Amino acid sequence: MQSIMQKRNMMVLPKLMLAARCAISPSDSSDTANAIGNVPESVVALAAPDTHFVMLAQAILYRGAGIGIVWPQFLALAAIGAILFAIALARFRRTIGAMV
């Protein structure tokens, strides 16, 4: 069981490092061939659910917006939630399958 957890942690680390490079621009200007480092910050921000939640909450609380105005933010939050749920469910099933 311990070796399975160590292998999974070893696989997660490169993914986290890759995700961190998306949010941080490259520090070296000669690293222009790296396409991930050249992603604009606004694109990365749109992939985060908190961005959509803040836009939704501000529209409702400050401007009294109805569902007709904030439906894109609701849709984005639902899509991000569904994707994260599907990933978590797949990982859970794979973990349970490895135990049997």
Q: What share of the chain in percent tops pLDDT 90?
A: 50
| Domain extents in the chain | 1-39, 48-100
Q: 3-state class of 65 per DSSP? A: coil
- Its pTM stands at 0.57
Pairwise CA distance, residues 58 & 72, whole Å: 14
State the Cα–Cα distance between residues 56 and 50, nearest whole angstrom: 10
Q: Which helix (H) or strand (E) holds 81?
A: helix 67-99
More confident residue, 44 or 14: 44
Contact 37, 31 (CB under 8 A): yes
Q: How far apart are CA 73 and CA 81, in angstroms?
A: 12
Residue found under tokens 């399958």: 97
pLDDT digits (tens, 9 = 90+) for 47-71: 889 999 999 999 999 999 999 999 9
